[in-house]
Chain A
Amino acid sequence: MEAFRIVEGTAIPLMEANVDTDVIIPIQRLVGSGREGLGEFAFERRRYLPDRSDNPDFIPNQGPYKGSGILLADENFGCGSSREGAVWALMGMGVRCVIAPSFGDIFFSNCFQNGLLPVRLPIEAIRRIAEQTEESPGNARTTVDLERKVVITPRGETIPFAVDDRKREAMLDGLDDISLTLKQADAIAAWREQDRTERNWAWESVV
């Protein structure tokens, strides 16, 4: 996982609800492909015109927003399919942080596995960031600081956000879960031993 501490830039105001992972990355781009090279296919169906040039109506294509690391959205961002390719594609296009009132649960987990920070803020706070950005997109800087757990808006307002310590620490250090879980190997083995006695039917039927 890529470590994450702080990201700064012009926040992209993609203020839409229910942006699903099919829209973020079409499944056809994930059949037989790896994690790399998905950036150019992020939002593919909305991002390009038929001749493959940038669609000027798609906000992330517009001048100061292009290539920015912070994306703003309305509720339920990343809903739908569990495809982790949605996170890889967003990171491939340069996004390191998505700020939304709520997220699809699986997408939210996938973000933390890869170093894309999902930040939950009330919609009013997100609208303020969007408004302050749109006043002067070229100069509007938003900062997301995971160490301090704050978002700093273009006008300098500091908004705290909540994040589980466990996830925050793993992300600050770029640690993955497997090594952490394997420290619990004895506990897992003991649990299994006991379960096998207490719930033999759950084991026997798949031997």
Chain B
Amino acid sequence: MKKFLTIALALLICISASADKKNKKATQAYKYEIEKIEAGAASNGVQAVYVQSYMNNIKNADQVCRRNAVHGVIFKGYSGRGDYHPALASDPTAQQDHKEFFDAFFADNGDYNKYVASTSASGPQYVKIKKIGYKVGLVVYVNVAALRRDLEKAGVIKGMSSMF
């Protein structure tokens, strides 16, 4: 009996540790800071944002930053010098509610790429941080107007006129 209890306890610890690792990985995937920058007049719905992403290694750093920029515009919102741009998804549970859609949207080479107009010519800037890995900064130009329009059409975010 004692042996059985020990095995069960060990199994439980293993399962819990694995779940924790999975969660940590998921959080790491969207660990970033986003702010608006004044990089020329934002015209035709394109906004320039500066994204600083935290990652373990710098493989695909450019792609992660692009994805985080689009993620930030949809779910986090960003502010500039005295102006604030709320998240496109006003509902905080939107990502969970439409998990299938957003998993595909943010997958490698997913549709999020369509809304990245360009990135800064100088490329990403890397800073090595102890224990965390790297902080990678990149200026990303996001076509916010097109992104909003398409997400509203897909029914995953609420538009201003959706309630009428």
Partners in one complex: no
Please list the residues of chain B having a beta carbon within 8 angstroms of any beta carbon in chain A: none
Please list the residues of chain A having a beta carbon within 8 angstroms of any beta carbon in chain B: none
